[in-house]
Amino acid sequence: MCDSHSSSSPVHPITAELPITISLFHYGSGVNSLILPRGPAKVLLLTHPPRSVCGCCGALRPRYKRLVDNIFPEDPEDGLVKANMEKLTFYALSAPEKLDRIGAYLSERLSRDVARHRYGYVCIAMEALDQLLMACHCQSINLFVESFLTMVRKLLEADKPNLQILGTNSFVKFANIEEDTASYHRSYDFFVSRFSEMCHSSYEDPDIRTKIRMAGIRGLQGVVRKTVNDELQANIWDPQHMDKIVPSLLFNLQQEEGIERAHSPETEKEKESPVELTERCFRELLGRAAYDNIKNAVKPVLMHLDNHSLWESKTFAVRCFKIIMYSIQSQHSHLVIQQLLGHLDANSKNSARVRAGIVEVISEAAVIEASGSIGPTVLEVFNTLLKQLRLSVDYELTGSYDSFANMGSKVIKVHEERQLQEAVIKTIGSFANTLPTYQRSEVMLFIIGKIPVPGMYPALGSANTGVEGSRMIQIMLLKSLLQVTAGFQSTNILTALPTSFLDPLLSFTLMEDAEIRLLVLDILISIIDRHDKRHKFSPVRIISDISVLKLKVDKCSRQDNLFMKKHSQRLYRHIYLACKEESSIQRHFESLYTLLGLICVELANEDVVVDLIRLALALQDLALTEEALPVYNRCAIHALSAAYLNLISQLTTVPTFCQHVHEVIESRKKLVPFLLPEDVLVESSKIPEKVEGEVLFVQAKIAEMLGGSGYNTERLATPYIPQITDEDRLSKRKSIGDTVSLQLEMESRNSPEKEQRSTAEQITFETLKQAIVDSVNVEELEREHRRQVVERFQTAPFEEIAAHCGARASLLQSKLNQIFEITIRPPPSPSGSVGNGHGRSRSVPVYEMKFPDLCVY
């Protein structure tokens, strides 16, 4: 009995203490299912636990821990136990309140495995987490996500590249999950910094370096997807984040040639290069940018290009902004252009190559912007570009960037400034091509208002550049205007060439600078050529049958007729006077012929045709009478007249007129071929002393021939004589800065006539009565005079009116010449006395002279 008791006694305490063990286990786990018994047995168990307790109590652990432990195989190479993983997933879906504990336990196991370098189990744990994330979308997922992000952070902080890539892949999967509940306290700052750092990885092995960089790019893409549309998250568009994300993407976008692909077999998705992946990620980022975020997304791009001196090469900068312009929403395009313009202004003192690179980018961006909206910045764009053009001219002529001390060491290269100027002009043209017709007309008026016009606008050059600076600015702005008018097609020429635009433009046709005159002619040709026919008039040649040119002459619209009625005489006068310029070369005469041909085809009615024939005959007379012109110019004018009469005669389809022109041309071919466009100055170096007879076109014959076809014979028989206006004389100044210094003659101050006028007249009743009667008579005379003037202008022929106006202009000119002859002499002393005991009077400067009150205002 005792033996039996003794033999059973070793077992009984264990069985007796078993409830204590269970209670202790559950108590440590936080489950209050049993009550701890009191007594010494408790102390015995705690101090001497049996070995079989662990194996015996494993089944008594919480179910979620057992389920988590079961997904890990004994050998990590066997991978995740899928059957047990399904059980864990079912348990998590059935008891979502346990999800946070499952995540915490998995995180604990993963941290322990990472510390013990058991990377196989680490991969299994991350795979399990990924599957749980994909399966569970309950409200309790937030706490589970916190555990998940903690594990991802642990992997990204590891030194092993494989762990970094593993953590990134898991984060990317998580980023693609749409959560049902919002998170108020989650932060992604660490991930932005860490993924950006991975994008700049410098690992020794190129294959591993490429994988790390691609993982960093995918990570940034995941951060953007997770946060960009979540208003509760920290704004990913803040500068602190964009300054890390955008440069990291641009750094990898540059590595197109520097990074080699791995040679191991890969799937199609893995074969994507870092550059392709970066570009896709960059496009996605920009495509999600709203109106308020464009500035923060573009500014890091500008800073990156500045810091790495990438403007000069242009290629990468242009590629970046093409990606930007094609990726952002089209209605936001003008914001990018605004930032580029502001950046161009900020770099005004930088080298010409940097500024040229920015301008090139603006030019390319403008072409893409055509499909979107330029917005309210049209004139701002052109104002900034014209400002850069003016600054470049100043830099080229002065050789310095003003008085900036930090720029004094830089050497300005003229050829680089010229390249910049050409780039600006090209960009102005690119912008203009994106504009509708009405906006392009506004830009044309804006540019013409910036050009210094003789006597109308002041010089735009700085004080250091002088007249040459003003001339260069004129040329550059006219070239810009030519770019704007290229391809300009307006159905209404009256609105395309308003007076406010035509007046200053025509004033340049009479300047002595040959290049300026040629640019103005090209601008006029571009505007008038609405059907792209200018190439049909070049080169200047005699064509026996113009049907080969396939010229289609449409009936002029009412607006065209109004334009020619209003401005034709001014156009003819400037064409005539332009031919008189001694500095004209072959290109000038070719442009004049093209302009005349376009007027005949685009704007001609019966009256215009008559005036054009008169103008061509007047040019022939000009070549005969202007002996001061160089030989080449006189020959070229004859050739221009012949070619144009040949063209217009075939357009009028009057057989006798065509026959006369043909006979004269044949005579010239035999006798004076150098008076034809094909042979100017080829066989002879000078015009014969007297060119007459059959080699000249006869105005009387032409008038008679055309009279039978219904043309105005009286008008045809009247020679064309241009009236010289004050505008023409003003335009003949050699430079804009020329001013006339007038000195006033003061001798009249002491004349007897003045003394007589100063004496007061005696006023009586008879005097007042006579004054009233005289005023009535004067009013009647003035009324009659006005009636006669109106009647004269309504009934008198044009030539009589022109002669009358010319006589008045000549009278005015003679009076002005008399005044100028007087003012050339130096003025006397202010006292008015010729001799005060001195042999010679002292000349007083104008600013010291005392003028009468009537002369001062």
Residue range 795-849, pLDDT digits in tens: 777 777 777 777 677 777 777 777 776 765 554 444 444 444 444 445 555 556 6
Residue 653, token pair as written in the block: 């389809």
Q: Amino acid identity, residue 432? A: A
Over 655-713, what HEC string results?
HHHHHHHHHHHHHHHHHCHHHCHHHCCCCCCCCCCCCCHHHCCCHHHHHHHHHCCCCCH
Report the alpha-carbon distance of residue 365 to residue 289 in Å, rounded.
18
116: helix, strand or coil:
coil
Range 634-655 average pLDDT: 91
pLDDT at 773: 62
pLDDT greater than 60 at residue 366: yes
Residue 274 and residue 336 in contact, taking contact as beta carbons nearer than 8 Å:
no
**pTM for the whole thing?**
0.69
Contacts of 788 (CB under 8 A, 6+ apart): none
Contacts of 662 (CB under 8 A, 6+ apart): 544, 646
pLDDT value for 139: 56
Contact 705, 657 (CB under 8 A): yes
d(CA 40, CA 26): 20
CA–CA gap between residue 841 and residue 826 (Å, rounded): 10
Percent of the chain with pLDDT over 90: 26
Could you give the count of Cα atoms lying within 13 Å of 744 in the half-sphere of its Cβ? 14
Cβ neighbors of 227 (< 8 A, separation 6 or more) are 188, 233, 234, 236
Q: What is the dihedral of CA 481, 482, 484, 490, to 10 degrees?
A: 110
Q: CA 366 → CA 336, 376, 429, 490, 626, distances in Å?
A: 10, 14, 10, 22, 50
Token pair of 143 as six digits: 């706490």
Which residue did the predictor score with more confidence, 627 or 41? Answer: 627
pLDDT score at 727: 54
Across 64-73, 404-413, 437-446, 502-511, least confident range:
404-413
**Residue 421: what are its φ and ψ, rounded to 5°?**
-60, -40
- Return the pLDDT at 268: 46
- Residue 850: what pLDDT? 64
Q: Are 744 and 851 in contact (CB under 8 A)?
A: yes
Classify residue 850 by its DSSP letter. P
Taking 70 as the threshold, does the pLDDT of residue 856 lie above it?
no
Residues 473 and 479: their CA atoms lie apart, in Å, by 10
Q: Is the pLDDT of residue 686 over 60?
A: no
Q: What's residue 16's pLDDT?
A: 39
pLDDT of the residue at 5? 41
Measured at the CA of 855, the angle between CA 852 and CA 857, to 5 degrees, comes to 115
pLDDT at 117: 85
Query: Would you state the pLDDT for residue 368?
Result: 81
Exposure string over 790-804, b if 16+ CB within 10 A, otherwise e: eeeeeeeeeeeebee
Look at residue 106 and tell me whether its pLDDT is greater than 60. yes
Q: Are the C-beta atoms of 447 and 477 separated by less than 8 Å?
A: yes
| Whether pLDDT at 714 is above 80 | yes
Q: Is the pLDDT of residue 325 over 60?
A: yes
Residue 402 pLDDT level (bands cut at 50, 70, 90) = low
**Highest-scoring range by mean pLDDT, 142-151, 241-250, 843-852:** 241-250
- Torsions phi, psi for 261 (to 5 deg): -85, 155
Q: Are 330 and 373 in contact (CB under 8 A)?
A: yes
pLDDT tens figures, 575-626: 999 999 989 888 999 999 999 999 999 888 888 999 999 999 999 999 888 8
Average pLDDT over residues 643-659: 91
| Pair 599, 619: CB distance under 8 Å | no
Q: For position 263, what pLDDT does the model report?
A: 44
3-state secondary structure of 10: coil
Is 144:100 a contact under the CB 8 Å cutoff? yes
pLDDT on residue 283: 93
Confidence band for 137, pLDDT divided at 50, 70 and 90: low
State CA 36 to chain mean position distance. Answer: 84
Q: Is 79 left (phi over 0), alpha (psi -120 to 50) or beta?
A: left
Residues making up the chain, counted from first to last: 857
Match 């590249």 to its residue by tokens: 161
Per-residue pLDDT at 404: 43
pLDDT given for residue 6 in this prediction: 40
Q: Which of 411, 377, 369, 390 is nearest to 464 (CA)?
A: 390
Q: Answer with the residue of higher pLDDT: 324 or 75.
A: 324
Surface-to-core class of residue 657, CB atoms within 10 Å of its CB (0-12 exposed, 13-18 middle, 19+ buried): buried
CA distance 321 to 319: 6
Q: Residue 831: what pLDDT?
A: 42
Residue 373's pLDDT is: 52
As a whole number of angstroms, the distance between CA 236 and CA 22 comes to: 52
Task: Determine which of 356-370, 638-652, 719-733 has the lowest per-residue pLDDT on average.
Answer: 719-733
Rounded Cα–Cα distance for residues 809 and 724 (Å): 9
Residues contacting residue 217 through CB under 8 Å, at least 6 positions apart? 195, 199, 248, 249, 252, 274, 277, 278, 281
CA distance 579 to 634: 9
Stretch 79-101: mean pLDDT, rounded?
83
- The pLDDT of residue 140: 58
Are the C-beta atoms of 188 and 196 separated by less than 8 Å?
A: no
How large a percentage of the chain has pLDDT more than 70?
72
If pLDDT is split at 50, 70 and 90, which confidence band does 2 have?
A: very low
Kindly report the average pLDDT of the chain as a whole number.
77
| Whole-number Cα distances in Å, 220 to 123, 203, 252, 347, 488 | 22, 19, 13, 31, 47
Rounded mean pLDDT, 529-536:
88
Give the model's pLDDT for residue 23.
Answer: 37
pLDDT at residue number 40:
42
d(CA 50, CA 55): 10
Non-local (6+) Cβ contacts of 820 within 8 A are: none
| Token pair for 515 | 């290049």
* 788-793: long-range pairs with CB below 8 Å, 24+: none
Check if the beta carbon of residue 252 is closer than 8 Å to that of residue 274: yes
**Nearby residues of 843 by Cβ (< 8 Å), 6 or more positions away:** 826, 827, 829
The whole-number pLDDT of residue 490 equals 82
Query: Which of 129-138, 250-259, 409-418, 500-509 is the most confident on average?
Result: 500-509
pLDDT for res 197:
94
DSSP one-letter string for 60-94: GS-HHHHHHHHTS-SSGGG---HHHHHHHHHHHHH
Tell me: cis bond preceding 504? Omega within 30 of 0 counts. no
Provide CB contacts within 8 A for 32, sequence distance 6+.
26
The pLDDT of residue 726: 54
pLDDT, tens digit, for every residue of 735-792? Answer: 333 333 323 333 334 444 444 444 444 566 666 666 666 666 677 777 777 777 777 7
Contact 638, 623 (CB under 8 A): yes
| Cβ count within 10 A of residue 823 | 15
Choose the most confident range, by mean pLDDT, from 83-97, 354-368, 708-722. 354-368
Q: Which helix (H) or strand (E) holds 793?
A: helix 765-795
